[in-house]
Amino acid sequence: MTPSDVVPPEAVAPLIRGVAVLDRLTRAGGTLSLSALERETGLARSTVDRIAVTLERVGYVRLDGRDASLAPRVAELGNAYLSALRLPSLLAARADRLADELDESVSLAVADRDGIRFIHQATRRRTLSLSFRIGDLLPAERTAPGAVFAGEWDEEQWAQWRARRTADPTDAGFGTVPEREAREVWPTSTEAAGERGAGATVGTDIGAGASLKGGAGNGRSAGGAAGHGRRTGAEAEAGTEAGAGTGTEAGAGTEAGAGVGAEAEAGARAGLKGGAGHGRSAGGAVEAGLWVGAGGEPWGKLGDEPETRPGVTPTGGPGAAPESGAEVAAAGGPGVASGGELASPDDEFVRRVEVARRDGFAVDDQLIEPGLVAVSVPVRDGEGRVVCVASVVSHTSRHTAGGLCEVLLPRLREAVAGMEEVLRTAPEAVAGPAPAGLAGWTGASKQELGREFVESLARGLSVLTAFGEGRAELSLAEVAKVTGLPRATARRALITFRHLGLVRLGADPRDFALTPRVLSLGFPPMSRTSLARIARPHLEELSARIQEPVSLGVLAGDEVQYTARVAGRHVMSVDISVGTRLPAWATSLGRVLLADLPDERRQLGELRAFTARSVTDPRELRKVLNEVRERGFALVDEELEAGVRALAVPVRGRDGRVVAAVNAATHVARRSVDECVSALLPELLTAAGRITEELAVVSRFIRVR
């Protein structure tokens, strides 16, 4: 979170501090000790403690000893933005279908100042998978969507981008991407062109006595090569300095330490030919033993003839403009600018923006990290404005950047055309009944907790949740009505959030709207959570209250699989580990899950007797399952194992269907059947209800597994 330099006098200081705590927890992956929060935020420990207590009462944080962790309900902040935006609701299903069809990850992203932020992810479940989450922020210049969005920037936005690049050249402020290595950090465009790399000079006399002195930067030459961060001479039949260990001929050179000779004019089959890609020279530098096309795209291994490869420039040359984005393949690093001058990463971004504007798509050829490739196409609304960007993301073991363009880009464009049709024909958003009194509960909490409860923080956060579908832009009066806050209080909260970049003015300057930055408040960690993680704290509390082992289970065919479990504290206790599978029909968990299914979808498997009390007659079992559905719980009394009595209740998804079940197991000597129903059932229903509520919040825009 980077607020503006001057804090408005009407801003709410406790609200700024509370947002800072949520931001730090998000950056840390969801959990930090209170001491670490003190260090990270610079706040006094007493202030951190009060904020943590308040956020716990709001439901956004859980406190466990000395640690604070984001709680599932914090996702309601991001939900407010995404529902007001409507794009995930309208387009996510099409993105998911495209991912299934291509068997590649597909994402939707929106612009967030000079970065891009994901609003939907349809990822593939593989050993080598992508780690980006909904809400993650990436620098525009290191992504394909960023090149698309930047095509619509005005001068002010370009100035903001240059200022950020000057202040943060390594991208340290973007916690979700690897920082740029020292060799990638060039002086920014705000510095004099002749001062790149500690006074480095660039010679452009290709192949004839050219010289290059690479300073602190990542040096490359048009007709030769440079060492990574070394001072390298390439003077007509001279070699390299600074221990590069490489001979050069006729002005051509190699990357430092490459250990390969190269000939400038002939092109040297052992080298790279062509474009302005990351880590490549225009006239024949050597890297990785690959031929390279016009934009740095590798087309073949050593020994291949470049003339037979698409997009290859046989003799190279500085400043050759790429023919298309596919040929550029999103060359994402230092390359060669017009006239043979070294191009910095920022210069390359400007070039890629122009290519993306011309071609209508952009490519990421390992801009974020080696191996990651993507192709992106803008999604426009009925007025022609880019509202988001759809991307297909893969890795180089499956596709090269050029391969993405050749094989997947046509289908991506078709899918985007379908998305744009959805946007053109979608009816206007209709707001449901507006919530009322969102902040009404804060007064009672203040009475209960006293000075430990920061009421201005709790009230302020309720302002963000006032927005939603059909309420994308709200006036001050509308915010006050929805939250139940006095107009003066709502106004100060809106001023604070605008200062923090979480709220902007609407189309009517009297209205306000949420910005994508709201997703930075807890949403990324929640977007990768699981049902077991959501349930775990509630299972622990349940087990502590009833002093029995408790479990969470899901249906897997004709079996129930245990996905979370808290053991009891008795000497004699039911011992089942996470991952265990048992016949669904014979367990309380399984019967709750089977009971919610229609008869034709119930898979029972082999009905063999485990004990003398096991129900194995199909007709009798069907009757039992119907009774479970009617009364809302299942009790299995010594049917799976003698002496074990278990009671289970359902956990429901947003659509009301049963997605999991929670149970408690006991020995028959500890509780009778009546005691199970009277003592355990209410506790189970309470725990399952809380899990259901949190699942509904998290799963609104996230696929919870």
Tokens of 172: 């340290």
The pLDDT of residue 217 is 38
Better pLDDT: 335 or 403: 403
Task: Give this prediction's pTM.
Answer: 0.79
pLDDT of residue 138: 96
Protein fold of 87-175+345-425 = Beta-Lactamase (3.30.450)
Structure tokens at 441: 């509960």
Please, are residues 295 and 219 in contact by the beta-carbon 8 Å criterion?
no
Average pLDDT value for residue range 260-271: 34
Per domain, the residue ranges of the chain are 13-71+435-527, 87-175+345-425, 531-699
Same topology, domains 87-175+345-425 and 531-699? Answer is yes
- Does residue 542 have a pLDDT over 90? yes
Mean pLDDT confidence for 549-559: 97
Whether the pLDDT of residue 319 is over 90: the answer is no
Q: Which fold has domain 13-71+435-527?
A: Arc Repressor Mutant, subunit A (1.10.10)
Percent of the chain scoring above 70 in pLDDT? 75
Angle between helices 45-58 and 455-464 (to 10 degrees): 50
Cα pseudo-dihedral 198, 344, 278, 308, rounded to 10:
-120
pLDDT in tens, 427-473: 998 887 767 778 889 999 999 999 999 999 999 999 999 999 999 99
Q: Does pLDDT of 426 surpass 80?
A: yes
Q: Give pLDDT, residue 184.
A: 57
* Residue 581 burial (C-beta neighbours within 10 Å; 0-12, 13-18, 19+): middle
Phi, psi (deg, nearest 5) at residue 599: -55, -40
pLDDT digits (tens, 9 = 90+) for 94-132: 999 999 999 999 999 999 999 999 999 998 766 566 668
Chain-wide mean pLDDT for the chain? 81
pLDDT of amino acid 332: 39
Dihedral sign, Cα of residue 486, residue 487, residue 491, residue 497: positive
pLDDT category, 250, cuts 50, 70, 90? Answer: very low
| Pair 175, 30: CB distance under 8 Å | no
Q: How many CB atoms lie within 10 A of CB 199?
A: 10
pLDDT at 656: 96
| Residue that wins the pLDDT comparison between 589 and 229 | 589
From the list 462, 466, 458, the residue with the least C-alpha distance to 14 is: 458
Residue listed under structure tokens 């609003």: 119
- pLDDT per residue over 486-525, tens digit each? 999 999 999 999 999 999 999 999 999 999 999 999 999 9
Q: How many whole angstroms separate alpha carbon 121 and alpha carbon 115?
A: 17
Residue 603 per-residue DSSP state: -
Other CB atoms closer than 10 Å to residue 633's CB: what's the count? 23
pLDDT digits (tens, 9 = 90+) for 139-184: 999 999 999 999 999 999 999 999 999 999 999 989 888 877 654 5
| DSSP reduced 3-state for 236 | coil
Which single residue is written with the structure tokens 């979808």?
601
Per-residue DSSP letter, 595:
H
What CATH number is given for 531-699 in this structure?
Answer: 3.30.450.40
Residue 568: predicted pLDDT: 82
Q: For residue 68, list its beta bridge partners.
A: 32, 63
Burial of residue 617 (number of CB atoms within 10 Å: 0-12, 13-18, 19+) = exposed
The predicted structure's pLDDT at residue 300: 38
Which of 284, 350, 334, 337 lies closest to 181, judged by CA? 334
In this predicted structure, the answer to whether residue 593 has a pLDDT above a threshold of 90 is yes
pLDDT at 342: 54
Round to whole Å and give the CA distance between 139 and 560.
44
Structure tokens at 385: 């404005």
Summarize the confidence of residues 175-199 as an average pLDDT.
54
